[in-house]
Homo-oligomer: A and B are copies of this chain.
Amino acid sequence: MTKKRATLEDVARLAGVSLGSASRSLSMPDEVRSDTLERVQRAVAQLGYVRNGAAQALASRRTKTIAAIYPTLDNPIFAVSIQALQQTLWALGYHLIVASHDYEPEREADLLRRIVERGVDGIVLVGTDHADAVYDLQRQYQLPYVLSWAVDDARAGQCVGFSYLDAAQRMASLVVEQGHTRIALCPGIAASNERVRARIQGTRAALSAHGLPLRNDWIVEGPFTFEGGRDAVAQLCRTDDRPTALICGTDIQAVGAIGECRDRGIRVPDDLSITGSDDIELASLVEPRLTTVHVPTSEIGRLSARRIVDLIEGRSTGEPAALQTTLVQRESLRRVGRTDSETQQERRK
């Protein structure tokens, strides 16, 4: 039973062909005569032969595997995107190695080092903000790479994402248009995260376009977790000088914020409007349902997979530069100074 795994040589011998022909039958079936192919296939079946990936990788210098490094795998936004990435990659014949650095930039370089050592054909990263060591490794080993969740004119060919700046700007404008002037922001943690900085910048731009300030003490940084949202509300409650709207960087934070409001007896949206971003499935399930911006989560995974494979296989990539986002209006954001029933009437028109 455990008679040592069969090798290609065994297959060739049994099929009565050369090693080369056997190899070709598997890798380029149309470059061998059909009867050769058939004999090899029969031998393969008979021996229950399976390729040895390591040998193949060593000889061909291609591992058929991609590594993806995420901040974390359990944020739903990434989980959904990874699912699409993985499915697409497998369909294209690639394996996916995943790793996460927990928002610690130095860890990312360590991970990448080990990934390089192990050998992969390409890497998928998140965003543009990486330690120099990361880019150094990429360059040194000529690793094809894709920056997902990012747009960057200088590296358009390797980016798959949307403009956080634009999304933040539009959301903030919407909030202002609803009559809010006292607006707080819970954007995430800005250090080593250009997406968070873009959010702050976009929000600030929108507010100042309407002559409103974005107060520094109302920019509450915190992690992308339910807890992060809770804490933001807690912090804003420290004084009586409170905002009427809280723009959160992610739906997760927004849901956490809503939970904290409920626990504190703050009515949403009556006392405080709250908005999110991402439009995760949960956004339309919480009470009140979340006003948010819909982002193409799965699409990013799918396109990142295609893009990295195109890059590896030397195909030109004809995908559009930046993906679109759309505002989704639900009940968690409310026109200022208006009662609930008025808002509902408005919505019915």
Across-interface contacts of A1 in B (CB, < 8 A) = 140
Across-interface contacts of A116 in B (CB, < 8 A) = 50
Min distance, Cβ A288 to any Cβ of chain B, angstroms: 10
Across-interface contacts of A53 in B (CB, < 8 A) = 57, 63, 117-119
Contact present for B58 and A55 (CB under 8 Å) = yes
A142 to B86, CA, bound (A): 26
Min distance, Cβ A111 to any Cβ of chain B, angstroms: 7
Min distance, Cβ A270 to any Cβ of chain B, angstroms: 15
Known: A140-B48, A285-B259. A82 touches B73 (CB 8 A): yes
Across-interface contacts of A82 in B (CB, < 8 A) = 73-74, 98
Contact present for B58 and A87 (CB under 8 Å) = no
A209 at the interface (CB under 8 A from B): no
* Best-buried of A48, A54, A97 by chain B (most CB within 10 Å): A54
Q: Copy number of this protein in the oligomer?
A: 2
A99 at the interface (CB under 8 A from B): yes
Across-interface contacts of A90 in B (CB, < 8 A) = 99, 111, 114
A216 at the interface (CB under 8 A from B): no
A330 at the interface (CB under 8 A from B): no
**Complex: chain B residue closest to A60, CB-CB:** B54
Across-interface contacts of A5 in B (CB, < 8 A) = 141
Which residues of chain A have a CB within 8 Å of any CB of chain B? 1-2, 5, 48, 50-55, 57-58, 63-65, 72-74, 76, 79-80, 82-83, 86-87, 90, 95-100, 111, 113-119, 140-142, 225-226, 255-256, 258-259, 262, 281-282, 284-287
Q: List 25 A-B contacts (CB under 8 A).
A: A5-B141, A53-B57, A53-B117, A53-B118, A53-B119, A54-B119, A58-B58, A65-B118, A72-B83, A73-B73, A73-B79, A74-B76, A74-B82, A79-B79, A87-B100, A90-B99, A90-B111, A95-B99, A97-B97, A97-B98, A98-B98, A226-B285, A255-B282, A255-B285, A287-B287
